[in-house]
A and B are shown apart, each in its own frame.
Chain A
């Protein structure tokens, strides 16, 4: 039913409609509203016999999720930021064991400096963890992608992360069609595990594997990821048949990428997550002035749809990748994946790091990016709206004084005395 509802609440209600057997989580901003709502829905008996396990840390959250999933339970958890980092060891175990856990990452920056606001450095840090990663462009798709995620996870026996921008989506109230349970039941069959800890038919899960088969187990993990590139389009089209809308939001193509005015676009902006909305508005504004701009969103970042990205971008003249995280010491994370997709094709790719630690990505700044890309004045790698004066003051201080003091505190002091 279409309702005006908070993103977190819509996700919680959607998870409830997926009828998980176990929800285990440790609260952390900005994921809190999701798990609070699920705790309540469980207590009210709205999710059948679902067990809500309020664990004492994220490490335990993922460990309980692994245990639950291994007994054949449909299992869900959610986290963000430091919480995701705290559970990293079992995160890798979950994918290595092939357990179809679904986890929401309510994207938030990683400290230090400590920061509770949005960027995507948390989920980006886990891009090589073996989990599938889907990025939501709006709250409708954030909710819907979870239904697809359970189906995909269980079909492949591989865990799936649904990444939604913290605060920007989790705390936004807007119109969302929360999937009806009857339709979800139709789309998402009962979970039939490939492996299960069952006293009647005992097995052990989690063997130590030496050089004789470790490569092969890892190869199969990679193989399943690539298999997902075939399955996601099938599940997406089935989703659309059942629910009457695309799982990954407007303008989405096969659940893999979002294509907005790419047909004749000379400049293409590439991004993941909620910033696509602002980018689409910028594209419309530029198109009104006759500028051939387009946008591409990546829904499935892992597996990375190399072929789709290549097909979508190969006719562009300039590509600007807007990234909410980066790899210090080299630059863009998404950009390097785009370069892999376009290998052998000569297209200028600029990387712009934007929206770190909650800095708003404004329509004005996005529009300026397009202009600078057109005029060729955009550096290969840059930070959107960087306060150059603030940075230079600290660099100067470092030159002049050996004991220049703590960096973050210095910058805050400088800001306070402006």
Chain B
């Protein structure tokens, strides 16, 4: 029960913070642009709303713009902003002197970050739903989408996108939690995203976690192998970064400010983790795991673009 209280406490802190506004604006930004476009191109909207597959088309349109750049950057920003609530307000010391275990502090914050991501997904999907509905509400000649709303296909598609977001979230949260300077994690996140977009068409581009959200859309351009199970990789990265973050957090809180011990221990753990990650990637590159999927199925249609449905 104490854990629930800690989550509630953490949830209260984000009220009126930059991260709340980011989720709200980020969730409705792309759908709003699509709505405006559909209102401007009224005759096409009349025609489209009468055709089958309208929901899938709107879903793909919204996700295509969101997945490649906006969502990874949004996650990077959100992870930094949520930890900055403590840094900026000089509140870590008060958190550590509250009657809760250090692990509770870590997991309660982490759960809140995950809930914020879920909140974004919900708002974004409400936005996508609105792109189909609002033109019909405003213009009398625009019919409501003829096709029934494919609820479960949306749920499954979102679930896959959500899994693909997790490694970015875990790594950015790790950086933001341990680096006081707001700019560093954002800069690192931006650099990794750009490097990943460039490296996406590389044969082993599936090793870059920042590419997972965008892969279904790039796969449509026939540049990469669409058969890779990125969810499996995303989960592995997520677990790895989360556990590393937890160990570093506990170590940091135990030896907080007593620089000598903290720096030594954290340096050792970070080096060991980096070696383990590099070894794991090298083993994959050398084919030691022997289970790389090399499906030659290429996506080339609207439906197949959306590998997340």
Q: Do A and B come from one complex?
A: no
